[in-house]
């Protein structure tokens, strides 16, 4: 019988080496696509660093959670889906919104509370939304997105539609009722949904093994006879392959899947978290596995990106982020006269 001490040791040893990685660059993927994954990763990195800076300068208010360190998981997740698929996320969703096609300028404007933002300045960091891109929002309540994602998947199945639903969540979500209820219904009704757990090792300040009786989170799906796997969340191509496979199964076989991406956030839970609860050695060890540096090395080794090309892509990403800040700064706040607009959905929604 496995003891809690054994489970704790397993969780503390859990890292990219314990999860499925992509052994080589994807066959049949052209150079520009592979380079674009790198560009998206560095774009998210610069965007999130700038968002943290803007928060300290009081340009951004409320809660703000960053994807720093999780760039490979974010890009791989989005790249494994099709444009018409529906995406539900939690409150750490800036990178997902950008990868689904919402421009960094519009996302930044939303963080600033401006009317040019994707939620017209009414949602802020935790409630990005774009129905045209089928980005169905970030949700501030832990696990709040899962029942909605399952409901959307039920509607798609009822209509016989080809699209699927992809639902991202944090590791702490797996300990709540909505997680278990949603997985149960998804399997019971054979719904076209892919669940992604971003296991960044901590639910706020609590280690996974201290908050979950089963620290190997992908194993929780076995209670519902659901297909599941653990992947290296620092490997963008491993995440992409896992999501692409799960999406195909959801689309063609109408079966749900669960993926656990083992990742690590480089900063505290939110921008105001001093992050004093994590051992310095642990943080150092994970920072050595910076997903951007790892992917850059693979591209260089394969002869697909030299130093000049890398600098070009990074400079372009930095410029795009600076332009996003400028757009947000110059945009207007919503008028007080519009305070009660959109309290109820209008015809056709938005």
Residue 338 lies in a domain: no
Residue 246 lies in a domain: yes
- Residue with token string 């004093």: 276
Q: Which of 205, 199, 212, 204 is nearest to 7 (CA)?
A: 212
Residue 5 lies in a domain: no
- What pLDDT digit, counting tens, does each position of 237-255 carry? 999 999 999 999 999 999 9
DSSP H helices in 112-163: 145-159
Residue 6 lies in a domain: no
Residue 158 lies in a domain: yes
- What pLDDT digit, counting tens, does each position of 321-350 carry? 999 999 999 999 999 999 888 888 776 555
Structural domain containing residue 295 = 14-331
The pTM score is: 0.91
Distance CA 269, CA 273 (A): 6
Question: Where are any strands of DSSP class E within the chain?
Answer: 86-90, 135-139, 165-170, 193-199, 202-203, 206-207, 227-232, 257-262
Residue 39 lies in a domain: yes
Residue 94 lies in a domain: yes
Q: What are phi and psi of 58, to 5 degrees?
A: 65, 20
- What pLDDT digit, counting tens, does each position of 27-47 carry? 778 999 999 999 999 999 999
Ramachandran class of 204: left when φ > 0, alpha when ψ lies in -120 to 50, beta otherwise: left
Confidence of residue 17 (pLDDT cuts 50, 70, 90): low
| Domain count of the fold of the chain | 1
Domain with 194 in it: what CATH number? Answer: 3.40.50.970
Indicate whether 1 pLDDT > 70: no
Token pair in block for residue 106: 């519009």
Residue 344 lies in a domain: no
Which has the higher per-residue pLDDT, 19 or 95? 95
Average pLDDT of the chain is 93
As a whole-number percent, the residues of the chain with pLDDT over 70 amount to 92
Indicate whether 287 pLDDT > 50: yes
- Name 84's Cβ contacts closer than 8 Å, sequence gap at least 6: 134, 162, 163
């Amino acid at each position: 019988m496995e003891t809690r001490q054994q489970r704790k040791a397993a969780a503390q040893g859990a890292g990219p080496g314990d999860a499925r990685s992509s052994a080589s660059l994807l066959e049949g993927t052209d150079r520009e696509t592979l380079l674009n994954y790198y560009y998206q990763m560095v774009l998210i990195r610069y965007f999130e660093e700038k968002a943290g800076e803007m928060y300290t300068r009081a340009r951004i208010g409320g809660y703000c959670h960053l994807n720093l360190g999780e760039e490979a998981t974010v890009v791989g997740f989005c790249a494994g889906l099709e444009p018409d698929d529906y995406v539900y996320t939690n409150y750490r969703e800036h990178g997902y919104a950008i990868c689904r096609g919402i421009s960094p300028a519009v996302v930044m404007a939303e963080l600033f509370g401006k009317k040019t933002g994707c939620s017209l300045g009414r949602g802020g960091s935790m409630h990005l939304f774009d129905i045209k891109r089928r980005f169905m929002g970030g949700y501030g309540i832990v696990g709040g997105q899962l029942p909605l994602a399952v409901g959307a998947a039920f509607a798609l199945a009822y209509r016989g539609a080809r699209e699927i639903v992809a639902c991202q969540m944090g590791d702490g979500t797996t300990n709540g009722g909505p997680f278990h209820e949603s997985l149960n219904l998804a399997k019971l009704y054979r719904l076209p949904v892919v669940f992604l757990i971003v296991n960044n090792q901590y639910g706020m300040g609590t280690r996974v093994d201290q908050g979950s009786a089963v620290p190997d989170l992908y194993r929780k799906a076995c209670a519902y006879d659901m297909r599941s796997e653990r992947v290296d969340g620092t490997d963008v191509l491993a995440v992409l392959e896992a999501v692409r496979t799960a999406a195909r199964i959801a689309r063609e076989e109408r079966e749900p899947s669960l993926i656990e991406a083992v990742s690590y956030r480089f900063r505290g839970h939110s921008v105001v978290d001093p992050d004093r609860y994590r051992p310095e050695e642990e943080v150092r060890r994970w920072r050595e596995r910076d997903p951007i540096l790892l992917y850059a090395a693979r591209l260089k080794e394969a002869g697909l990106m030299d130093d000049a090309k890398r600098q070009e892509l990074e400079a372009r990403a930095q410029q795009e982020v600076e332009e996003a800040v400028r757009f947000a700064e110059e945009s207007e706040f919503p008028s007080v006269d519009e305070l009660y607009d959109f309290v109820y959905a209008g015809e056709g929604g938005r």
